[in-house]
Amino acid sequence: MSEVTRTDARHNRDQLVAVAREAFAEHGTATSLRDVARRAGVGIGTLYRHFPTRQALIEAVLGHGFDRLREQAVALTGQGDPRDALLTWLRDFAESSARYRGLPESVLEALQDEDSALHASCFGVRDSGRALLAAAQQAGAVRADLTIEELMALAAGVAWAGAQSPTPNQTVRLLELVVSGLDPITPPH
């Protein structure tokens, strides 16, 4: 492959990712891949050569955000109040998930499908959240019976509802309501 061919291929890939980011923001992650290719100025075959599945394209669009969430979790671990650290990360996770309609469903599906192009990234995000949850649980700051899968499902539900709402900051408001249910259970006296 010549240098010109490689440069063209990189340009096509970058253009597809940029257009997909816009299309996902406008129409959600279920947007037409044929439309993404058309808007990027390439054929559908070129899109599939770079991204064999929709999930592979979603991964390319969201990879940086997933990396940021993982890095944020590492930075927050052991810093200050464990509950605040968990809630900061959870808010960013929910807001990131609400950015593209259909993304919460894609993430939850990818966690169940080991063959998905998104699976490893979603697992990495989940595991980074698990460390924050464990620290908050060990500090007695959140319910001991809460699992990371439940927490991510709650955040995905909040993200989905926030993405559907015309009300600004609805994701943040819904997350605040959900978070109140994370308090440790105290036995009745």
Residue 188 lies in a domain: no
Residues 83-86: contacts with CB under 8 Å, at least 24 apart: 83/136, 83/139, 83/141, 83/142, 85/132, 85/135, 85/136, 86/129, 86/132, 86/133, 86/135, 86/136, 86/141, 86/142
Task: Name 48's Cβ contacts closer than 8 Å, sequence gap at least 6.
Answer: 33
For residues 94 and 155, membership in a common domain is answered with yes
Residue 95 has pLDDT above 90, yes or no: no
Q: What is the mean pLDDT of residues 169-180?
A: 84
97 and 118 both lie in a single domain: yes
pLDDT (0 to 100) of residue 129 = 94
| Whole-number pLDDT of residue 2 | 62
Q: In the block, which residue shows the tokens 């037409």?
A: 32
Q: Tens digits of per-residue pLDDT, 32-77?
A: 999 999 999 999 999 999 999 888 898 899 888 888 999 999 999 9
pLDDT (average), residues 170-176: 85
Q: Could you tell me the pLDDT band of residue 15, with boundaries at 50, 70 and 90?
A: very high
Q: Do 38 and 127 belong together in one domain?
A: no
94 in a domain, yes or no? Answer: yes
What is the overall mean pLDDT for the chain? 87
For residue 113, the one-letter residue type is D
- Name the residue among 126, 106, 125 with its Cα closest to residue 116: 106
* Whether residue 40 is found in the same domain as residue 68: no
For the domain that residue 24 is a member of, what is the CATH number?
1.10.10
Which CATH number covers residue 168?
1.10.357.10
pTM over 0.85: no
SS3 133: helix
Same domain assignment for residues 84 and 172: yes
Please compute the mean of the pLDDT values over residues 70-90 and round it to a whole number: 93
Q: Above 80 in pLDDT, residue 160? A: yes
What is the distance between the alpha carbons of residues 85 and 78, in angstroms, rounded to a whole number?
Answer: 8
137 and 163 in a single domain? The answer is yes
Domain count, the chain: 2
Q: What is the DSSP letter of 75?
A: H
For 83-115, give the DSSP string.
HHHHHHHHHHHHHHHHTSTTHHHHHHHHHH-TT
Domain that holds residue 26: 1-52
187 occurs within a structural domain = no
